[in-house]
Structure 1
């Protein structure tokens, strides 16, 4: 469990430097340069991610149950991840109304993902992992939207054709992940009854 906690602190911490320590972050970029900062940032994030995956895998071997979710919550969780995939795709396809309206679709995608998994999983490791990401995404989303307003940022208007593309690509990725990749990567089938 310690590896999971340490991984969450490292991964979410490095992803929070712009919000929590903007002056320090800018000093580091000025001192070492943007590309070396991005490289260091990526290495630290990767270390955190490896610790999260390893720690969560270890915790699943000897789960500490806090609650037992009914089987139907897995199906609800799978459905709640549909908007998560669509929002994630909206992050990378420019020019959609979705991105313009939401502002920070990846953070909203993380919220949907985390809530979905908290509904369907009831171990202490699940609470730490998905609850940690949920709190981080909520706080960062609020801070990011506040910063947008303070800077006067207005997102460019979107196009319906881009929204259609975002939804189609998001749904395709969701089907691929739900039907094949989740089992291969996580070891569980989202729609399994057992």
Structure 2
């Protein structure tokens, strides 16, 4: 694959992630599909485009920037467990501060769960995933790929903050933010059973990704 082909897929990736979220497009789509189905379809499209982008990076011309070392894989292995736990603790939970929140009316700022650590745990997980994968992928196409995705995830947090402040109103957003900031980092969860199940799901996801990595990506995860 040429650099032009790689750039074209990159442009398509960002277009499919940004355009459907613009109010002019999102509002009619949500009205037609419903909020739940819009979220499902958007998530599937995002995963498909991400897989295509990763495949394109592997087919782009190889230009080495730094050598691969064993310690890099060890860091990725440990860090990816954190990423999987973040995802497990964040998916399907109320979070009025970010995208992907589920039943946000049930959100309790005094017991915010993972939101106490980050208002945008899914974007934090994406940034960590991309940053970790920079280490053992020191060639130009993968540095562009993972560097841009990490930057996209980090910059997206401030963009979503501004959008949510407009939607909720400055006073409501700031009051919730202040109450979340006062909550304990190690406060009692709303449900110990649910928390234990989510931790187990995160560990299972990690094991699944390790097993699937050589099948999907073509190289073992370490």
Same fold by TM-score, threshold 0.5 exceeded? yes
Deviation at 1:90, TM superposition (A): 2.4
Q: How many residues align?
A: 184
Of 183, 186, 190 in structure 1, the residue corresponding to residue 214 of structure 2 is 183
Report the equivalent of 2:152.
Answer: 136
Aligned equivalents of 2:44, 2:127: Cα separation in 1: 24
Partner of 1:3: 5
Partner deviation per Cα, 1:169-193 (whole Å, 9 max, x = no partner)? 1112112212x111111111122xx
Q: Does 1:117 align with 2:133?
A: yes
Match of 1:159 among 167, 174, 190: 190
Give 3-state SS (helix, strand or coil) of 1:102's partner: coil
Aligned to 1:35: 33
Q: CA deviation at 1:32?
A: 9.4
Shift of 1:18: 6.7
Q: Return 5+ residue gaps in structure 2 as ranges.
A: 95-111, 184-188
Q: Could you say which residue in structure 1 is the equivalent of 2:82?
A: 83
Q: CA deviation at 1:47?
A: 6.9
Question: CA–CA distance in 2 between the matches of 1:23 and 1:131?
Answer: 28
Match of 1:65 in 2: 64
Separation in structure 1 between the aligned mates of residue 159 and residue 137 of structure 2, nearest angstrom: 28
- Taking only aligned residues, the RMSD between alpha carbons, in angstroms, comes to 3.3
Deviations 1:43-62 (A, max 9, x none): 97577446414412312xx5
SS of the counterpart of 2:220? coil
CA distance in 2, matches of 1:185, 1:129: 17
Is residue 90–residue 114 contact of structure 2 (8 Å, CA) maintained in 1? no
Residue 15 of structure 1 aligns to a residue in which SS? helix
Gaps of 5+ in 1: none
Q: 1:89 to 1:41 in 2, by over 3 A?
A: closer
d(CA) in 2 for partners of 1:92, 1:32: 20
On the 8 A contact 2:10/2:53 being kept in 1, the answer is yes
Q: CA deviation at 1:165?
A: 2.6
**What TM-score do the two structures reach when normalised by structure 2?**
0.67
Q: Give me the whole-angstrom Cα distance separating, in 1, the residues matched to 2:44 and 2:195.
A: 33
Tell me the SS of whatever aligns to 2:135. helix
Residue 99 of structure 1, CA deviation: 4.1
**TM-score, reference length from structure 1:** 0.76
Q: Would the aligned equivalents of 2:87 and 2:202 in 1 still touch at CA under 8 Å?
A: yes
